[in-house]
Amino acid sequence: MSAASSSRASSSRSGPATSTPSGAPATVPGPLEPDRDELPATARPKTATGLRVMTTGTDRDTAALGTALAAGAQVLVVANGDPRGTSATVKAISAADPRAVVGIGPEFGDAETLA
C-alpha cells in the first residue's frame, strides 16, 4: 500500500463525515444557548377530583390509564366491561360518589350505553 492510499484509508475511519451530500463542507453548529428565561412560568395542573375510570385491565389501556392516574382519577377494574356485573363493582362506584365515570375500551360501549 502506498503512503497516499494509507493516508486516505486512515482518514476515512477517523470519524464522522465533514461534508454534505453535495460535497460542500458541513457547518458544525456551536453550543446551544439556554433559553429557559424566555419560557413562560408554569405550575402543576390541578388534579381531577370526582373522576372514576373503569378498565377491563387489558394491555391496550395502559397509556390511557397512566394518563388518568396522573390526572388524579380513581381506577376500577371491571373484568367483563359491565359495571353492573357484580355487586362489588356497583358498590365501589357508589362509594366513590364520582362526578364523572369514564369507561376505557370498547367493552363499555358508547357514552349513551355507559350512562
pLDDT, tens digit only, all 115 positions of the chain: 544 444 444 444 444 556 677 777 778 888 888 888 888 888 888 888 889 999 999 999 999 999 999 999 999 999 888 888 889 888 988 888 888 889 999 999 888 888 7
Burial of 18-46, coded b for 16+ CB within 10 Å and e otherwise, reads eeeeeeeeeeeeeeeeeeeeeeeeeeeee
